[in-house]
């Protein structure tokens, strides 16, 4: 390991940071570029690897790209890292961090730390005071594009997880807090905003979710009455889990269903309820809307046939081009890799990988998207 001091600019303010990197040859790891991808950066961060998701606990996302696509914020080893596309990095916060999210204009970064919602002004490099305290588990900015003045609506889950938490909306500029759901003993969580129209997808857990443990619900048009996005699905005695919705357009989305390391991606028409298998053996979808590049993770199908617990097998990061249907594995074989995140412009993809008991963020360039 070696450290070096560099200068990094965030908005209008320049600050210094210490970058920790690994002096090692990457030839053994990425000797051959796979498909249309080229490795450009690998940020190695020392420390004990965090417990990776063994099933449905893969919300909220671990990595989020800035709207400009030149910087990402990722959770690694319980630390919140700021990383640019060249691999330079700095720690913003340590301990109890999760669920980073950028506002559409990149002005604000929000995340959770030790159950509290934190909003960071990216330009001023300072925190914004909010009225949301305690028991916050995840958050997501509304990333809808607006031709008029940008609004900064931040949705978050608050309350005892699985025992009555609900979703709230915070107007960061006005400081106004609004309760979006009121699901009683059931728990609403993991809000995902439709970037094309006034609609919110979320996961509902509990007595009001028939047929399973977690089911996708929709809240549309400013109403207070959510409706099930999917029909009841029989997944055996252990129930089933639906999560990770990703909007393809105004009226269709991808989501994952399954559990315990065995997942399938489905495509859902939210207006008719019609669904179809989109990708078998796949989970954690993440999409660049402008390039049609879908990142996801997958465990080896044949190895799962000889493994008692599927979640113990290492997942790999894959990419699917939605226009051509081409599917490519881009992470190294036999290296635990997950939580892929494609930049909004489709030029880069990043993920968290674990190797030799360390976590690190890998970043690759999508060559055909820039050349």
pLDDT of amino acid 40: 45
Which candidate, 244, 241, 210, places its Cα nearest to that of 228? 210
Which residue segment(s) compose the domain that 72 sits in? 2-370
pLDDT of amino acid 67: 92
- What is the Rg, in whole angstroms, of the alpha carbon atoms belonging to the chain? 20
Q: For residue 229, what pLDDT band results from cuts at 50, 70 and 90?
A: very high
State mean pLDDT over 83-110.
93
d(CA 116, CA 137): 8
More confident call, 15 vs 173: 173
Lowest average pLDDT, out of 256-265, 273-282, 300-309, goes to: 300-309
| pTM of the predicted protein model | 0.83
Which candidate, 113, 58, 119, 28, places its Cα nearest to that of 256? 58
pLDDT of amino acid 91: 95
Element (H, E) at 119: strand 116-121
Q: For residue 366, what pLDDT band results from cuts at 50, 70 and 90?
A: confident
How many domains does the chain fold into?
A: 1
Domain of residue 175, CATH code: 2.130.10.10
pLDDT of amino acid 6: 29
For the stretch 120-132, what's the b/e string if a residue is b when 16 or more beta carbons lie within 10 angstroms of its beta carbon? bebeeeeebebeb
More confident call, 95 vs 19: 95
Which candidate, 283, 328, 332, places its Cα nearest to that of 310? 283
355: helix, strand or coil: strand
Q: For residue 5, what pLDDT band results from cuts at 50, 70 and 90?
A: very low
pLDDT of amino acid 42: 54
DSSP category for residue 72? E
- Has residue 266 got a pLDDT over 70? yes
State mean pLDDT over 197-223.
80
State mean pLDDT over 209-215.
67
pLDDT of amino acid 172: 94
Q: For residue 362, what pLDDT band results from cuts at 50, 70 and 90?
A: very high
Which candidate, 230, 210, 232, places its Cα nearest to that of 274? 230
pLDDT of amino acid 371: 36
pLDDT of amino acid 301: 82
Report which listed range, 49-63, 113-127, 203-217, is most confident: 113-127
Q: For residue 318, what pLDDT band results from cuts at 50, 70 and 90?
A: very high
Lowest average pLDDT, out of 35-44, 73-82, 312-321, goes to: 35-44
Task: Count Cβ atoms below 10 Å from residue 36 Cβ, excluding itself.
Answer: 17
pLDDT of amino acid 1: 29
More confident call, 320 vs 262: 320
The answer to whether residues 361 and 72 touch, using CB atoms and an 8 Å cutoff, is yes
More confident call, 324 vs 46: 324
Tens of pLDDT, residues 267-297: 999 999 999 999 999 999 999 977 789 999 9
pLDDT of amino acid 39: 44
80: helix, strand or coil: strand
* Structure tokens given for 254: 């991808």
Summary mean pLDDT of the chain = 79
Residue with tokens 């046939």: 305
* Structure tokens given for 317: 């990061």
302: helix, strand or coil: helix
């Amino acid at each position: 390991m070696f450290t070096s001091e560099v200068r990094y600019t965030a908005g209008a303010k320049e600050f210094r940071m210490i970058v920790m990197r690994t002096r090692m040859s990457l030839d053994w790891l990425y000797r051959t570029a796979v498909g249309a991808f080229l490795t450009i950066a690998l940020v190695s961060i020392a420390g004990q690897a965090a417990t990776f998701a063994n099933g449905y606990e893969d919300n909220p996302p671990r990595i989020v790209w800035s709207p400009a696509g030149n910087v990402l914020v990722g959770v690694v080893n319980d630390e919140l890292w700021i990383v640019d596309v060249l691999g330079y990095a700095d720690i913003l916060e340590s301990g109890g961090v999760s669920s980073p999210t950028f506002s559409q204009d990149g002005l604000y970064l929000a995340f959770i730390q030790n159950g509290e919602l934190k909003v960071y002004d990216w330009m001023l490099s300072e925190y914004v005071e909010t009225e949301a305290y305690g028991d916050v588990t995840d958050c997501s900015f509304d990333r809808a594009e607006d031709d008029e003045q940008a609004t900064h609506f931040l949705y978050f889950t608050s309350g005892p997880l699985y025992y009555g938490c609900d979703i709230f909306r915070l107007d960061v500029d006005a400081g106004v807090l609004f309760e979006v759901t009121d699901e009683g003993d059931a728990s609403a969580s993991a809000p995902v905003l439709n970037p094309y129209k006034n609609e919110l997808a979320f996961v509902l857990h509990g007595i009001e979710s028939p047929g399973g443990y977690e089911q996708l619900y929709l809240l549309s048009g400013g109403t207070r009455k959510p409706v099930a996005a999917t029909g009841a699905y029989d997944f055996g005695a252990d129930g089933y889990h639906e999560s990770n919705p990703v909007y393809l357009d105004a009226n269709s989305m991808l989501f994952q269903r399954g559990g315990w390391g065995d997942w399938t991606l489905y495509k859902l028409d939210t207006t008719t309820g019609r669904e179809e298998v989109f990708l078998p053996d796949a989970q954690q979808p993440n999409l660049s809307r402008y390039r049609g590049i879908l990142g996801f993770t997958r465990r080896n199908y044949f190895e799962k046939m000889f493994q008692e617990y599927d979640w113990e097998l290492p997942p790999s990061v894959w990419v699917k081009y939605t226009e051509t249907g081409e599917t490519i594995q881009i992470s190294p074989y036999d290296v635990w890799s997950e939580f892929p995140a494609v930049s909004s412009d489709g030029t880069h993809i990043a993920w968290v990988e674990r190797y030799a008991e360390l976590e690190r963020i890998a970043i690759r360039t999508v060559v055909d998207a820039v050349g």
